[in-house]
Structure 1
């Protein structure tokens, strides 16, 4: 007899295999060009197995997108110290944010550039997570302005620009060329502090 715990564990493992295969396939071919057979083959499972664990190809994309954006919020929370000076907070957050998109560039391409393929209710969920990411970085920019440390003409536009340049790293970054993820993070943190009028002393 197979215990319910054992069955649940096998089901969770199968879901993870399918999610990993979907991530690779979506990154390589795009959501629309990827078939459920591509995903099943990547997971070394039957095509029918996809529908045992997921209702649709779109549901796979949604789970990847939601988890990816929640991970970014965790990355921000892990490094942001609200008691630190705004410039130090901004450097820490943009460095971690950019480094994450370099390190997880395959997933980053999927969760950021396949949003149009999500069902409306799923898109709403992911967009709220994106707005929360923006709110957290905007709060740092606002704190720097209030403290007189940042010289910014438009706080929202500046926030959007910093986040956009960090996200875009996932589109073109390749680990075998150029800077490491950590070096990319530091480089973009330097750019971000210059964008808000902070200069190294």
Structure 2
């Protein structure tokens, strides 16, 4: 347990450094210094900088998939699924700003097979959203010009958040989540007010 806590501390420090300097601009000695240990001690927890990066990115994607699955528990209609998906999507990106920024900018630094593993998890996440869009269109609840582009547009709405989000900004996290959830529904031709009325 103590060893896992230490790994978590190292991973968190490394993510901050990767976000600031990039993977190639960060050395194992930088990570060791950030957590107050010697470089040789760091190798007792991670065998290489590649392992640090792969551990961080894989865990981030796995966490995002679990978060999405929990959000959809009990949802039946595609409108509800999309609404819950965007709420979870924005919440995850606002609560994991640094980790999600790193996964979107440093994944190309990963060597195989870990790069393919991360890409597969991302494809799994996209597939979940695509299934919701397809279900909504086929049931007549969604109206979109292009299903695939709509899916990517919805995902990009959240992915861009780590580039500018400020917890001390004009909108609270909840206000931002509500704004994005409403925009997601409008993008597929659903009136957000009708969803709110149904939820009451």
TM-score (norm: length of structure 1): 0.90
SS of residue in 2 equivalent to 1:53: coil
Residue 99 of structure 1 corresponds to which residue in structure 2? 91
Residue 100 of structure 2 corresponds to which residue in structure 1? 108
Deviations 1:142-199 (Å, cap 9, x if unpaired)? 1111110101121111111111121110122111112233222221111111111112
Residue 43 of structure 1 corresponds to which residue in structure 2? 35
Residue 140 of structure 1 corresponds to which residue in structure 2? 132
TM alignment of 1:1-201, pairs within 5 A: 9-81=1-73, 83-200=75-192, 201=194
Aligned partners of 2:30, 2:152: CA distance in 1, in Å? 35
Moved more, 184-193 or 124-133: 184-193
Aligned partners of 1:108, 1:138: CA distance in 2, in Å? 21
TM-score (norm: length of structure 2): 0.91
Moved more, 119-128 or 84-93: 84-93
Q: How many pairs are equivalent? A: 193
Aligned partners of 2:41, 2:166: CA distance in 1, in Å? 32
Q: Any unmatched runs of 5+ in structure 1?
A: 1-8
SS of residue in 1 equivalent to 2:102: helix
Aligned partners of 2:119, 2:175: CA distance in 1, in Å? 29
- Check conservation: 1:87, 1:144, Cα contact below 8 A: yes
- Check conservation: 1:95, 1:184, Cα contact below 8 A: no
Moved more, 137-146 or 29-38: 29-38
SS of residue in 2 equivalent to 1:151: coil
Residue 5 of structure 1 corresponds to which residue in structure 2? none
Residue 197 of structure 2 corresponds to which residue in structure 1? none
Aligned partners of 1:82, 1:10: CA distance in 2, in Å? 36
